[in-house]
Chain A
Amino acid sequence: MIELKKVSMRSGAFSLNEVSFRVESGQYAVLMGKTGLGKSTILEAICGLRKVQAGSILVRGVDVTRWSPSDRQIGYVPQDLALFPTLSVREHLQFALRLRGASKAVMQQRTGELSQVLGLGALLDRNVQRLSGGEAQRVALGRALAARPAVLLLDEPLSALDQATRIEMHEWLCKVKVATGVTTLHVTHNSEEADALADLRLVLQNGRVSDSTQK
């Protein structure tokens, strides 16, 4: 479960005022709004990468507003993916587990599961700088899901892809949704994406989430 209670943020001329919404456990929520309204900022605040001036952020019912990003158990896929250029696909999938001191057997098992769900089996030993847009997107998704996060945050995951890759990636997202059932908040400005994926549709307008429609 993700819940924002009257969260306010300010950065220069940009501000978000008393943003509140709630995504129930297992729900796939899509947050919509025009470009530049602060959708990505909300995701960064949930991750702990951006400070909030007021309000609270709850993950699984626990107030994590003052927690470090490393303690929040959040899987985050930023718009630019931010893959680690010096690591292979396999090392990306094992990164979060290695930090948690997982055994080699556990890491191998999880790598196998993720590569099967995301179709990364043939790419495991490849450096991420030699991947196509769709492949890189799936690696970023696998990296975020590896440690079984409490929630998954996706920042415009389909926006930078061509039409064919977008359709393919859309299918992967549906597959992940069914396979993991992880609570997801997906940010986009595309209403087709929202129609196809959302259990819950949120709309950001004038610095507030003013309208939400449940399926």
Chain B
Amino acid sequence: MESQVQVAELRQRRYVDLPFFVVMGGLSASFVLLIVLLLAADIMFTSVQDFRDALMKPQIQAAFRLTLLSCTVAAIMSLWVATPLGYILSRYRFPGRWLVDTLVDIPIVLPPLVLGLSLLILFHLKFGDWELESWLRDTLGTPVTYQWRAVVLAQFSVACAFAVRTMRVTFDQIDPRCEDVARTLGCSRAQAFLQIALPQAWRGMLTAATLAWARSLGEFGPIMVFAGATQMRTEVLSTSVFLELSVGQLDSAVAVSLMMVIMAIFVLLLLRAFGARLHS
């Protein structure tokens, strides 16, 4: 009799974790399902013919080329800046460090349109007779506003902030004692950084570059305000979607969106793979 009661209790205990898994799994599945449904809706809305037609448009092809180029340049620039900045924020305690740390995060929290507007104002603000945009155009022959350079700069402004965060975490995970010991062996600080810290940070650098690239791909607000959306000149895929929608070409807009989804999935899968290796 006693053993029967124990068996019944054990049977009951087998299901004690069930509500936990139902609640956690249900909440998680709701978001995953939303993403899957969004993608499925896009795929069902468009056809292979629509996709092919969109790809054949010269302005979409130009936007595709500019997107690839600008995202790549913005990612390289972000990595170039984020690696030293992430290292400094991770390794050194200096006056105003908290301020720098906060400033770096501003592009992440700022509404994208505000960032674009701020870039526009910066380049056209007059200091007496001097203006940055005029100086770049007249003296260096490289105008920025409403040019492809503005696209890169707008993407860089946001992407770099994400890259800095990634690089800081990367260097936080690398033991600074190795660099200390390298210095006792004869390394200068620069040699310790280049020969000891940087080789350990390569996976983090790849992650930061991938993240910056993916973030640049999705950038829209700052590009619209600072670079405009001139076909064959400053149009990128994110602005193509808007332009196609604005002229009622819904099929085309969805086809371009799907193209971006495919690019984003490819980049995010790369990011996940490198991230997993970094944490392991």
Please give the residue numbers on chain A whose beta carbons come within 8 Å of chain B beta carbons, in ascending order: 47-49, 68-70, 72, 74-76, 78, 80, 82-86, 95-96, 99-100, 143-144, 147
Contact = CB atoms under 8 A, between A and B. Distances in A.
Contacts of A49: 180, 183-184
A62 B260 CA distance: 65
B70 to A, nearest CB: 33
A82 B180 contact: yes
Interface residues of B, number: 16
B200 A86 contact: yes
**Interface of A: prevailing SS:** loop
A86 B196 CA distance: 8
Interface string B186-197: 111001000010
Contacts of A74: 184
Contacts of A78: 177, 180-181
Contacts of A96: 185-186
A89 to B, nearest CB: 15
A140 B180 CA distance: 14
B178 interface: yes
Contacts of B199: 86
Contacts of A100: 186
A147 B177 CA distance: 20
A99 B199 CA distance: 17
B186 A47 contact: no
Q: Which of B175, B183, B199 has the largest number of chain A CB atoms within 10 A?
A: B183
In the A-B complex, the 9 residue pairs with the closest CB atoms: A82-B177, A99-B186, A69-B183, A96-B185, A86-B199, A76-B184, A82-B181, A82-B178, A69-B184
A41 to B, nearest CB: 13
A95 B185 contact: yes
B73 interface: no
A132 to B, nearest CB: 19
Given A84-B196, A86-B199, A86-B200, A72 B184 contact: yes
B182 interface: yes
Q: Which of B182, B184, B191, B200 has the largest number of chain A CB atoms within 10 A?
A: B184
A48 B180 CA distance: 9
B185 A143 contact: yes
B188 A70 contact: yes
A70 B178 contact: no
A82 B197 CA distance: 12
Contacts of A80: 175, 177
Nearest to A83: B178
A147 B175 contact: no
Nearest to B185: A96
5 contacts: A49-B180, A69-B180, A72-B184, A96-B185, A147-B186
Interface in B188-230: 188, 191, 196, 199-200
A86 B184 CA distance: 18
A133 to B, nearest CB: 17
A185 B125 CA distance: 63
B217 to A, nearest CB: 31
Interface string B53-67: 000000000000000
Nearest to B183: A69
B185 A147 contact: yes
Given A82-B175, A85-B200, A99-B191, A76 B186 contact: no
